[in-house]
Chains A and B, each alone.
Chain A
Amino acid sequence: MSQRVTVVENILNANDQIAEQNMAQLEASGVTAVNLMASPGAGKTSLILSTVDRLVRRLRLGVVEGDTAPVTIDSERVLAKGVPAVQINTGGGCHLDAVMLQSALTQLDLDQLDLLIVENVGNLVCPANFRLGAQRNVLIASVPEGDDKPYKYPGMYRGVDALVINKIDLLPYTPFDMDYFCRGVEMLNPGLATFPLSCRTGEGLDDWIDWLVEQVRARRRV
């Protein structure tokens, strides 16, 4: 005899629960974690390296690098700057999940950190669905990707607390329509903190750095 059982359970409930534990652990150590998401080539690593250069003497930094392949190129570049870095290899997986971050956190001395930057796997779809437990989720868009990305990847643009628009030095060479792009962002995520910048020239980086410092200060105060 067949019987219907009501479930009504979020499919990613297990991940969300671990994410909550991660956040509690970060909060307990007073660490602000930022989950950096973007498509491949948008400039996640470049932004991290630029950010480390500007903040390494002001804040105690740590970096978690997510990659699909066992390459340590990115973490080595961070380590070379004297900042602790942990590499997560997803084994081909398209996103980081909360369990992966949980294991990375055990390899860091959280009490010695103010700001932890987590570089997610380059992908504009999957990372949006898997919360990690970072207090801030940030998306990097870049000019060469095109101005239609908010319309094509609404899930990603809806779930973030800040948006970096990288490679603005290329604006004169592309048909990227900033108004069209920003209209899409505004509809999906009204009032989103947005930072147009160029990691290459350094233009606009100060505002991004100020925002990051403010996120850390707000946590330190409470």
Chain B
Amino acid sequence: MHELSVTENILAIALRHAEKAQARRVTDLYLVIGQMASIVDDSVQFYWDIISAGTPAEGARLHFQRVPTELQCLNCNRRYAPADDDFACPDCRSQQIRVVAGEEFYLDAIEIE
């Protein structure tokens, strides 16, 4: 269900920008999705095929750019990819961290004709 409403949003954003650019159709969508954003690519694709039918974006290809989680230690500034159940800094073991990447959830660009 979650992916359905997400996919509807993707379609709405793409169509709005396509219309603004006076496009005949949308051929490609470039999505940027962080590892921590709980979205399943296959499921979005599944809904996409159904809900894009009959719109100028019908049959458009979805490109998913997955961004791995990256954290930064606020103590020693080291940047690192966290282990599954250990987010602490691998160097100084500090738990004061900030998320640098991995929470992205946006439509980066579309290709139109």
Residues of A within 8 A of B (CB): 1-15, 92-95, 97, 125-126, 128-129, 148, 151, 154-155, 158, 183-184, 186-188, 190
Contacts and interface: CB of A to CB of B under 8 A. Distances in A.
A13 B13 contact: yes
Given A7-B109, A187-B88, A126 B2 contact: yes
B57 interface: no
25 contacts: A3-B113, A4-B109, A4-B110, A4-B112, A5-B21, A5-B112, A6-B109, A7-B13, A7-B14, A8-B106, A11-B10, A11-B31, A11-B106, A11-B107, A15-B9, A93-B1, A95-B1, A97-B5, A126-B1, A155-B38, A183-B95, A187-B95, A187-B97, A188-B87, A190-B95
A121 to B, nearest CB: 10
B36 interface: yes
Given A7-B108, A14-B12, A184-B85, 18 more contacts: A1-B113, A2-B111, A3-B23, A4-B109, A6-B109, A8-B107, A11-B6, A11-B107, A12-B105, A13-B9, A126-B1, A126-B2, A126-B38, A129-B37, A151-B84, A158-B36, A158-B99, A190-B95
- For the complex of A and B, the 5 pairs showing the least CB-CB separation, nearest first, are A187-B87, A151-B85, A126-B2, A94-B1, A125-B38
Given A2-B27, A3-B21, A92-B1, A11 B13 contact: yes
Nearest to B107: A7
Interface of B: 1-2, 5-6, 9-10, 12-14, 17-18, 21, 23, 27, 31, 36-38, 84-85, 87-88, 95-97, 99, 103, 105-113
A5 B113 CA distance: 10
A46 to B, nearest CB: 25
Contact of B9 (A3, A11, A183, A186): A11
Contacts of B111: 2-5
Contacts of A94: 1-2
Contacts of A12: 6, 9, 105
A3 B23 CA distance: 9
A86 B108 CA distance: 38
